[in-house]
């Protein structure tokens, strides 16, 4: 057995012992949402416009126990969805989850599950418009091979959503992983023993200890489940990235970087915006260097979440008022509590609309069949084009040119 095969087997053994994520099964549809799993919301974020069709193919690459798959099926009812994972037990839970929640029964297209490693995605038939790969690449023995396999299956003009670990915000986790491994000795690979050792360490560390404090602050709520604790602290394979190594991985894919899905974090002015000199110096930096500067100044980031695309992905520019006035607006599919002037947006943050904004969004909510343009809707409400652009930038509406 090669080193890569041994690592993949060790990872499979972990997830067969502790299927992950350990979200409980439910007879109800997914209660919330993740906008990154909505084809309409993700495509609008990446291109600035509503996708031309909902009749697409989606791949959930490394689905685990199917929490993400459940959402992908639920949020994209006209899509054909395929899910793969190397763990047989996790995959079985994923299929059971999606059947129990009822999303498959209500789905208009095929849903398929395959016991495959990520690198084996090339065995799947055809190409995919939208690929979701969350928490997987950093566990591969050779992530370059994994991302290349996904790139090969991505349709031209398609988008790939990726989540991988960031090293600076996971420093404490890394130290605990190493400590547990040392104390396990030749028992390393016995994941139940690893959980036992890790919990014993945390139970005995001094209250002021940095590792203990970080665990209590960020992770203890989810880590009360052994599955989550094992995934975090006794995983047999993990690669943590920084901006430099992340973009090396992206380059290996041959795909285009579209952007991070948490753009607010990547704004330098939130850190040193009070200094005109520092902001001026930063203007000379490349995008990659600027990203690196930001993560060095704010090393709290625990993961990167971003979109890649296969050329050519057409972008829409709404900066021209004439172009914006001719757009056909609609409401974002990722909101909770609308229609109301106060509701939860795509990031579960409370939004309070002005009267004019609410009036405009109500018209958007009713605009599915009417296909009225922005200029037509504005004749009946007090909002201006700047207000429309603000709603779009806040991901509360989506726009289409036809």
> Do 114 and 215 sit in the same domain of this protein?
no
Backbone torsions φ then ψ of 308, nearest 5 degrees:
-120, 160
* Nearest residue to 136 (alpha-carbon basis) of 109, 118, 115: 118
Q: Check residue 216 and give its pLDDT.
A: 97
User: Is residue 133, in this structure, part of any structural domain at all?
Assistant: yes
> Do 135 and 182 sit in the same domain of this protein?
no
Task: List the chain residues with pLDDT less than 70.
Answer: none
User: Is residue 228, in this structure, part of any structural domain at all?
Assistant: yes
> Do 85 and 52 sit in the same domain of this protein?
yes
Q: Is the peptide bond before 389 cis (omega within 30 degrees of 0)?
A: no
Q: Check residue 331 and give its pLDDT.
A: 95
CA distance 316 to 330: 16
Q: Check residue 368 and give its pLDDT.
A: 72
Distances (CA, A) of 94 to 83, 110, 115, 272: 9, 15, 11, 45
DSSP state of 217: I
Q: How many domains does the chain have?
A: 3
In the numeric block, the tokens 């950093």 are attached to: 138
Domain boundary among 191, 218, 233: 233
CA distance 387 to 134: 34
User: Is residue 295, in this structure, part of any structural domain at all?
Assistant: no
Q: Check residue 304 and give its pLDDT.
A: 98
> Do 77 and 203 sit in the same domain of this protein?
no
Q: Check residue 108 and give its pLDDT.
A: 76
DSSP state of 132: E
> Do 229 and 258 sit in the same domain of this protein?
no
CA distance 220 to 6: 31
> Do 394 and 256 sit in the same domain of this protein?
no
> Do 345 and 198 sit in the same domain of this protein?
no
CATH classification at residue 162: 3.40.50.150
> Do 17 and 129 sit in the same domain of this protein?
yes
Q: Which residues contact 168 (CB under 8 A, 6 or more apart)?
A: 242, 295, 296, 299, 300, 301
Domain boundary among 185, 210, 233: 233
Domain interval for residue 128: 3-167+240-265+301-309
User: Is residue 191, in this structure, part of any structural domain at all?
Assistant: yes
> Do 185 and 258 sit in the same domain of this protein?
no
324 phi-psi bin (left φ>0, alpha ψ -120 to 50, beta other): alpha
> Do 244 and 113 sit in the same domain of this protein?
yes
User: Is residue 314, in this structure, part of any structural domain at all?
Assistant: no
Domain boundary among 309, 343, 367: 309
Whole-structure pTM over 0.85, yes or no? Answer: yes
User: Is residue 288, in this structure, part of any structural domain at all?
Assistant: no
> Do 143 and 255 sit in the same domain of this protein?
yes
User: Is residue 293, in this structure, part of any structural domain at all?
Assistant: no
User: Is residue 275, in this structure, part of any structural domain at all?
Assistant: no
CA distance 392 to 329: 9
Tokens read off for 214: 């970080």
In the numeric block, the tokens 């943050």 are attached to: 349
Q: Check residue 367 and give its pLDDT.
A: 76
Q: What is the pLDDT of residues 97-128, one digit of tens each?
A: 999 999 999 887 899 999 999 999 999 999 99
Q: Which residues contact 352 (CB under 8 A, 6 or more apart)?
A: 341, 342
> Do 125 and 245 sit in the same domain of this protein?
yes
Tokens read off for 374: 């922005």
DSSP string, 217-264: IIIHHHHTSHHHHHHHHS-S----B-HHHHHHHHHHHTPEEEEES-TT
């Amino acid at each position: 057995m090669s080193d890569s095969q041994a690592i993949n087997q060790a990872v499979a053994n972990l997830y067969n012992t502790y299927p992950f994520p350990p979200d409980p099964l439910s007879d109800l549809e997914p209660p919330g949402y993740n906008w990154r799993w909505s084809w309409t919301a993700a495509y609008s974020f990446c291109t600035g416009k509503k996708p031309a069709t909902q009749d697409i193919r989606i791949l959930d690459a490394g689905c685990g126990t199917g929490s993400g798959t459940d959402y992908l099926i639920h949020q994209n009812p006209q899509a054909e969805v395929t899910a793969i994972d190397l763990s047989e037990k996790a995959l079985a839970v994923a299929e059971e989850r999606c059947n129990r929640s009822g999303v498959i029964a209500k789905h208009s297209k095929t849903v398929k599950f395959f016991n495959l490693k990520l690198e084996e995605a090339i065995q799947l038939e055809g190409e995919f418009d939208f690929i979701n790969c969350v928490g997987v690449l950093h566990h591969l023995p050779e992530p370059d091979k994994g991302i290349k396999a996904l790139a090969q299956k991505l349709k031209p003009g398609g988008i790939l959503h990726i989540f991988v670990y960031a090293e600076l915000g996971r420093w404490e986790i890394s130290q605990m992983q190493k400590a547990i491994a040392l104390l396990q000795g030749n028992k390393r690979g016995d994941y139940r023993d690893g959980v036992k050792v890790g919990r014993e360490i945390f139970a005995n560390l001094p209250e002021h200890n940095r590792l203990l404090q970080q665990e209590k602050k960020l992770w203890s709520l989810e880590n009360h489940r052994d599955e989550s604790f094992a995934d975090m602290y006794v995983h047999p394979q993990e690669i943590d990235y920084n901006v430099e190594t992340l973009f090396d991985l992206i380059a290996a894919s041959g795909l285009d970087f579209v952007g991070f899905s948490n753009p607010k974090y990547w704004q330098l002015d939130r850190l040193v915006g009070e200094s005109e000199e520092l902001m001026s110096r930063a203007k000379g930096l490349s995008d990659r260097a600027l990203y690196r500067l930001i993560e060095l100044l704010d090393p709290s980031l625990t993961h990167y979440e971003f979109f890649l695309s296969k050329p050519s992905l057409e972008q829409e520019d709404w900066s021209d008022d004439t172009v914006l006035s001719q757009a056909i607006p609609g409401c974002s599919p990722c909101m909770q509590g609308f229609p109301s002037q106060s509701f939860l947006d795509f990031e579960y943050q409370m939004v309070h609309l002005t009267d004019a904004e609410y009036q405009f969004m109500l018209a958007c909510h009713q605009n599915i069949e009417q296909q009225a343009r922005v200029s037509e809707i504005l004749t009946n409400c007090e909002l201006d084009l700047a207000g429309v652009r603000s709603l779009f930038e806040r991901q509360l509406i989506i726009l289409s040119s036809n």
